[in-house]
Amino acid sequence: MRLLLGLGLVLVGAAAAQDEEDPLGRPGHDDTGTTTWAFRLGLFQQPDSGDGNPFLDEELTVIEPVVLFETDLNPRLRGSSMFSYDNVSSASIDRLSKFDGQSGASGDFYFGLDLGLSYLWDQATDVGGNLHFSKEYDYTSIGLGGSWGKEFDGGNARLKASLSAYLDTVDLIRFDGVETGDDDRTTLSANLNWYQVLSPRTHGEVGLTLGAQSGYLETPYNAVVIEDPFAPPNGNLDNFARGFEVTEELPDSRLRTAVHAKVRHRLSEGRSIGLGARIYQDDWGITAFSLEPSWHQRLGDRWAVALRYRIYSQTEADAFAHSFVVIEKERTQDSDLGDFDAHTLGSHFTWFRSESTTWDFGVDYTDRSDGLNHLTATIGWRYSF
C-alpha cells in the first residue's frame, strides 16, 4: 500500500508541469531543454473517523520528497533517474512498534531508485527501458521494464506499448509482532495506449492495462477479527470487541484488467474541458468504475489552473467481510478491498516563472463512503535547460 501511495504522489506531479502544454501527457514531446531537474514534495493525510474497520485505527500519513533528473546523452539517447523517499506514520506502525524488536515494523521509511533510457529509433519511433529498486523495513522490490512507441500521421496519432516485471520479497511480520520468515511476490504488467488528434480542437486517448500477480499477496501485519460473544473484551482492538485476531489470508494469484479513456476539448484560447473514465475488474471479485470531468484555464501568460471532480465506485472482494464469526479459508477486513464510493475534488495551479522554470501546486480531497477521507497535496519545481 505504501508503494502505491508513493507512486500516486509521484504520478500526480510528474505530468502536472506539462499538463497545460500537452494535457494528455504524450511522452517524448518535452523539448524545453536537453537537461531537466525536478523536485516534488507530496503529502498524503488520512485520519480515521471510525467508519471503516471498527476494530483498528486506520490513520495514515505519508510525506514524500522526489528528485528527478533527465538529460540527453546524445541526440538520440535520453537518460533519467528518479529518487524518492517516503516517511510513513500510521496507527499500524504505532501498534507494531510496541512489540520487542519491531520499532520500525511495517516500514516507517521507504526509498526507491528508478533509472531509465529512451532511444529515438527514428523520427517516429522510440524504445525505452528502466530499472527499479526500492527498499523499506519489511519489503524489497526489484523491477525491470521496457516500452515501444510510434507516431503516425505526422504526430496526430501515437501508439505506445510497455511491459514491466517486479520481484518483491516481503518479511512476514504479523499483527502481534511475530516474524515468520519471508515470502516472494511477482507482478507482471502490460500496457497498450493509443493517442489520437480528433480535430483541431479535440484530442483523446484510450488504453488497456493487464496485470498478473502471484505469490504472497496479503499484507503481513493485517489482522482479521473473529468475533465471539463469550470471549472477554479484547484490549488490543480499538472498540474492545469480544473476539480474537487471526492473520489475513488471500489467494496467491490475482489477474487485473483496466480500460481507460479520456478526451480534451479546447473551448477557446487558453480554456479547455476534459473527461476521463476508467473501468477495472479483477478475479478477486472487485469491479470499479470512475468518471472524471475537468476544467483547464490559463490565467494570463504565467499562470494556469486545472479543476477536477472524480467519482469512483468499487465492489468488495470475495474474501472481504465487515464481520467474521468463524475462521474462513480466505478472509480480509482491509477497507481498500471493501465496497465503497468516493468523491474527489481537486485543484492544480501552475506558475510558468520563466521559459526554463515552472512551479506547480496541487490539492485533492477525497470523501469516501466508508469514512476513510483523505487529503493529497503536492508542490513541485521543474527546471529545463
CA distance 105 to 366: 28
Structure confidence at residue 101 (pLDDT)? 63
Q: Report yes or no: 225 and 206 within 8 Å, Cβ to Cβ.
A: no
User: What is the reported pLDDT for 107?
Assistant: 52
List the beta bridge partners of residue 197.
Answer: 203
102 touches 138 (CB < 8 A) = no
Contacts of 383 (CB under 8 A, 6+ apart): 36, 37, 38, 356, 357, 358
Sign of CA dihedral 44, 50, 54, 56: positive
Q: Which residue has the cell 476494530?
A: 55
What's the total number of domains in the chain?
1
CA distances from 247 to 51, 213, 336, 345 (A): 22, 20, 17, 36
Q: Are 342 and 290 in contact (CB under 8 A)?
A: no
Contact 281, 287 (CB under 8 A): yes
Contact status, residue 57 vs residue 48, Cβ threshold 8 Å = yes
Question: What ranges in the chain are assigned the alpha helix state H?
Answer: 2-14, 91-96
CATH code assigned at 248: 2.40.160.40
d(CA 285, CA 94) in angstroms, rounded, equals 32
Q: Residues, the chain, total? A: 385
How buried is residue 181: exposed, middle or buried, by Cβ count under 10 Å (0-12/13-18/19+)? exposed
Beta bridge partners, 364, equal: 346, 376
In the prediction, which pLDDT does 235 show?
86
- Report d(CA 366, CA 344) in Å as an integer: 4
Q: What pLDDT score does 7 carry?
A: 40
Dist CA 331 CA 249 (whole Å): 5
Q: How far apart are CA 243 and CA 240, in angstroms?
A: 9
333 Cβ contact partners less than 8 Å away, ≥ 6 residues apart: 53, 55, 222, 223, 224, 225, 248, 320, 321, 322, 324
Q: pTM for the whole thing?
A: 0.87
Determine the pLDDT at residue 13: 40
How high is the pLDDT of residue 102? Answer: 62
Q: Domain range spanning residue 212? A: 2-384
CA distance 218 to 172: 10
From residue 135, alpha-carbon distances to 138, 139, 140, 242 in Å are 8, 6, 5, 37
Which residues lie closer than 8 Å to 262 by C-beta, 6 or more apart?
24, 204, 205, 274, 275, 276, 277, 292
Rg, the chain, Cα only: 22
pLDDT for res 122: 94
Residue 5 pLDDT: 43
Cα 168 to its chain centre, rounded Å, is 17
DSSP assignment string, 198-221: EETTEEEEEEEEEEEEEE--S-TT
The tens place of each residue's pLDDT in the chain, 385 residues long, gives 444 444 444 434 433 333 444 433 333 344 446 899 999 999 999 998 767 788 888 889 999 999 999 999 999 999 999 999 999 888 777 777 777 666 555 457 889 999 999 999 999 999 999 999 999 888 899 999 999 999 999 989 999 999 999 999 999 988 888 888 999 999 999 999 999 999 999 999 999 999 999 999 999 989 999 999 999 999 888 889 999 999 999 999 999 999 999 999 999 999 999 999 999 999 999 999 999 999 999 999 999 999 999 999 999 999 999 999 999 999 999 999 999 999 999 999 999 999 999 999 999 999 999 999 999 999 999 999 9
So what's the pLDDT on residue 53? 82
Q: What is the four-CA torsion angle of 385, 149, 24, 345, rounded to 10 degrees?
A: -100
